[in-house]
Amino acid sequence: MKKLDHYEKSSFIVFSKRTIRIMRLTLFLSLFTVCQLWATETYSQITRITVNLENQRIADVLLAVESQSEFYFLYSPKLIDVERTVTVSVEKQPISEILKEIFGDDVKYAVYDRQIILTPANDAGLLDQIQIRRVTGKVLDTEGEPLPGVSVVVKGTNKGTATDADGLFQIDVPAGGEVLIFSFIGMKSREVEIGNQSVLNVTMEEGDLELDEVVVIGYGVQKKRDLTGAVSAIASDEISSLPVTGVQQALQGQASGVMITQNHGAPGAGIQVRIRGVGTIGDSDPLYVIDGVPTKEGINNLNTSDIESISILKDAAASAIYGTRSSNGVILITTKRGKAGVTDVVFNSQYGIQKISNKLDLLNAEQYADICDEALVNAGLPKVWNNSVAGAGT
């Protein structure tokens, strides 16, 4: 019985120690949490501020409050008029009384610990500024068929969308957005006023002027709308006004996939033309065809003012009629011809200046001879030049 009593007593003591430890830890955490909550919630209540300012801007009054407390204000100058002058005279008052003295009922405030957020009392104006309306609709062609992929953009913004496979679109128009711009390749762009409408059905017309342009291809001509190969067309007015010395230079940046580089900066230096990169390890120059006559000599001897149009055939389908010579592409040039009617005289004149950007100072003849003699002496050889006879030179 003694052993049993001893065991029960010992077991009771161990259990009590564990319970006490848990209770102590729980009590400590509870007190810590309560203290934190009390400090957070009551800082604005226990803090007293004194402000005596006369005819000062509201912005300066808020800075004075921040300087003598841990408060800091968050507001938008576009919504809160902080340039207005006020007179504030308070002695050891809470922040709520100071804000009421400054703003009255025109401004609402919310206190989050030491952070104070100021907002207009009447949010109707603010809501109007951020108001967004949704506009839906459908885009059709002249035959009533839906147009997928049409770009729809709110004019004056970067807000946009595109029509789906059924020609339908949906866009959120911000306040101030009054016009939608519809654009599509091969179609005339349209600007449509929204007004009070929430549904817009738009019909787009074909851009006939661009699709009906004539392009030279091989031995004939074809309209752009009927082209199936990769062909770039350049009109005469796009190159005749450029300040260049040759036709190849005039082609720079005029057609996609055509890379034109000048070998060096000397006047009349050769031009390298590559269409869609290098196609062979040998000669990669394209085939030039001038008024139906093939040539490999280049076209820099032509006057840009004499050219009517230039067509660049890039892929195999477009240049197949020229056989293996067209493996690197074909550049077709049509020159101007005489026309019936009144005689037109066109005069073009231009000049250019080339200058070395960083001209290095060179040695004269005497200095060059001295350096040569010094090199010979360093190599264990006798001097060759007699400077007293040669003189300074040039």
Mean pLDDT along residues 94-104: 83
**Which residue did the predictor score with more confidence, 317 or 82?**
82
The rounded distance, in Å, linking the Cα atoms of 258 and 272 is 10
Do the domain assignments include residue 241? yes
- Tell me what pLDDT residue 168 has: 92
Give the model confidence (pLDDT) of 189-231 as tens digits.
899 998 888 888 999 988 755 545 555 455 555 455 445 457 7
**Same-domain pairing of 255 and 235:** yes
- Tell me what pLDDT residue 215 has: 54
- Tell me what pLDDT residue 357 has: 82
Q: Residues for the chain: how many in total?
A: 394
Give the containing element (helix H, strand E) for 333: strand 330-335
- Tell me what pLDDT residue 182 has: 92
Give the model confidence (pLDDT) of 268-320 as tens digits.
666 778 887 776 777 778 888 888 888 777 677 777 778 888 888 877 766 67
pTM of the model: 0.37
Segments forming the whole domain that contains residue 365: 361-394
**Same-domain pairing of 252 and 325:** yes
- Give, in order, the Cα–Cα distances in Å from 239 to each of 37, 235, 344: 77, 7, 19
The rounded distance, in Å, linking the Cα atoms of 98 and 73 is 13
Mean pLDDT along residues 25-43: 60
In CATH, what number is assigned to the domain containing residue 100? 3.55.50.30
- Tell me what pLDDT residue 19 has: 66
Split at pLDDT 50, 70, 90, the class of 76 is confident
Do the domain assignments include residue 264? yes
Mean pLDDT along residues 343-352: 77
Mean pLDDT along residues 19-25: 69
Mean pLDDT along residues 41-63: 81
**Same-domain pairing of 98 and 144:** no
**Same-domain pairing of 71 and 109:** yes
**Which residue did the predictor score with more confidence, 119 or 300?**
119
**Same-domain pairing of 245 and 280:** yes
Mean pLDDT along residues 257-270: 72
Mean pLDDT along residues 317-328: 73
Do the domain assignments include residue 225? yes
Task: Please classify residue 101 by burial: count the beta carbons closer than 10 Å to its beta carbon, then call 0-12 exposed, 13-18 middle and 19+ buried.
Answer: middle
**Same-domain pairing of 329 and 218:** yes
In CATH, what number is assigned to the domain containing residue 175? 2.60.40.1120
Split at pLDDT 50, 70, 90, the class of 7 is very low
**Same-domain pairing of 195 and 220:** no
Q: What is the average pLDDT score of the chain?
A: 76
pLDDT of residue 34 exceeding 80:
no
> Which of 74-83, 167-176, 245-254 is predicted least confidently?
245-254
The rounded distance, in Å, linking the Cα atoms of 7 and 15 is 12
pLDDT of residue 348 exceeding 80:
no
- Tell me what pLDDT residue 139 has: 92
Task: Please classify residue 203 by burial: count the beta carbons closer than 10 Å to its beta carbon, then call 0-12 exposed, 13-18 middle and 19+ buried.
Answer: middle
Mean pLDDT along residues 105-125: 75
Count: domains in the chain: 5
Residue 202: closest CA among 141, 261, 161: 141
**Same-domain pairing of 70 and 105:** yes
* Cβ neighbours of residue 322 closer than 8 Å, sequence gap 6 or more: 218, 287, 289, 294, 330
**Same-domain pairing of 320 and 238:** yes
CB 222 within 8 A of CB 215: yes
> Which of 86-100, 113-127, 289-303, 309-323 is predicted least confidently?
113-127
